[in-house]
Amino acid sequence: MGQRPRARQQMAFGAAILLMLLTLTGPLDTYAKGFFFSAYIFQQMILVFMIPPLILLGLPDWMVRPVMINRYLEPLTRVLTRPLLAFLTFSMFFALLHYPALCDRLCHAQPFYGSIRTGLIVVGLLLWWPILSPLPEYPRLSYPMQIMYLFLLMIPMTAVAAPITMADSVLYMHYTMGAHPFGFTPIADQVLGGLIMWVGQGVYIMFVFSGIFFRWAQREDSEIPPINRKPRLAVLRPHGRPTA
């Protein structure tokens, strides 16, 4: 056992649990399941962009280490948490999930319902790992790379959201069936959903990146987050090969 989690960590973890409760139960979930595409997208955004960072901020390293670094899982986690692979895994999962036919068939049908939501949190954890890793063994990206990483996230997010927003017909048949409360037509609902994914997410990411930037700007002399400096198991690979 390591030391007791700090108050900030406890608060972050509590917030994550609370957010999960609010998004996966209650009115938001009801609307997301059967009525509004936009509610479903809003739910997704919270599952991917808010809950995982809070979880990562809330976990102390001694709690994560045995899960991530053990005999069986280490080869997998070491590869998957590499920024490039984490990014690609997230992008592929996210893009596939919004393929209209797949979404109609999987996202709301009973056997898959829970696993899709869980999957979103898991790929979200992967996505945020290079930025908020609690383990010095799997170091965070340097500040400029973190900003670049978030900047590049724009490419898959736009590629998925722009066609949904700009489509002139309803793509997701699931939401054409049933009632349309508040007189909100399916097409307007779809545009709103696309915009939440695109603009709402973009503005949110801007706030995140602002936080990262100012943390970086405080340290004129270095671009490496302090957490990476803790004793590390891996030795930095020297550049190039020794010239014999």
Partner 1 sequence: MAAQPKLIHLEQANYLEGGGIYGWLTTIDHKRIAVLYGITALMLMGLGGMEAMMIRAQLIVPNNHLLSADFYNQIFTMHGLTMIFLVLMPLETGLFGNFFIPLQIGARDVAFPRLNALSYWIFLLGAISLNFGWIWGGLPNGGWFGYANLTERYYAPGLNIDFYDVGLLILGVSSVMSALNFFVTIVNMRAPGMTFMRMPMLIWALLVTVILLLLAFPALTVGLIFLFADRYFDTHFYVVIAGATPMLWQHLFWIFGHPEVYIMALPAFGMISEVLPVFSRKPLFGYPMMAYSIILIAFLSYGVWGHHMFATGMGPVADSAFSITSMLIAIPTGVKVFSWIATVWGGRLRFTTSMLFALGFILEFTIGGLSGVMHASAPVDLEQTDSYFIVAHFHYVLFGGVLMGILAAFYFYFPKISGRMMSEKLGKWQFWITAWAFNATFFPMHFLGELGMPRRIYTYAPDMGWNFWNKFESINAFILGFAFMIFFVNVAWSWFNGEPAGPDPWDARTLEWSIPSPPPVYNFVTVPTVHSRDAFWVQKYGDVEASGIGEKKAVIDFAPPPTPEEIASIHVPDPSLYPLLMAGGIFLAGIGMLVGWYRLVFLGLGLMIMCAIAMSFEYINWGEDNPHQVGESFLGLDNRKLGIWGFIGSECVFFASLISTYMVYKSRSLGAPDASILNIPLTSFSTFILLMSSLLMVLALAGYQRNDRFWGNFWLLGTAFFGLIFLGGQVFEFHEFWSKGMLYNTNLFSQCFYTLVGFHGFHVFIGVVWLVVMAIAGMRGKIGSSRALSIELVGLYWHFVDIVWVVIFTLIYLMRTINHA
- 152 touches partner 1 by CB under 8 A: yes
Q: Apex CA 72: angle with CA 66 and CA 73, to 5°?
A: 65
- 158 touches partner 1 by CB under 8 A: yes
d(CA 17, CA 8): 14
- 159 touches partner 1 by CB under 8 A: yes
End-to-end Cα, the chain, rounded Å:
47
- 216 touches partner 1 by CB under 8 A: yes
* Structure-block tokens of residue 57: 């901020």
Taking the least distance from each CB to partner 1, the nearer of 20 and 174 is 174
d(CA 41, CA 36): 9
Enumerate residues 67-86 that contact partner 1 by CB under 8 A.
Answer: none
Rg of the chain over CA atoms, in angstroms?
20
DSSP 8-state secondary structure symbol assigned to residue 183: G
Enumerate residues 86-105 that contact partner 1 by CB under 8 A.
Answer: 88, 92, 95-96, 99-102, 104-105
- 215 touches partner 1 by CB under 8 A: no
* Structure-block tokens of residue 201: 């997410």
> Where along the sequence are the contacts to partner 1 (CB under 8 A)?
88, 92, 95-96, 99-102, 104-105, 144, 147, 151-152, 154-156, 158-159, 162-163, 165-167, 171, 173-174, 188, 191-192, 195, 198-199, 202-203, 205-206, 209-210, 213-214, 216-217, 219-223, 239-241, 243
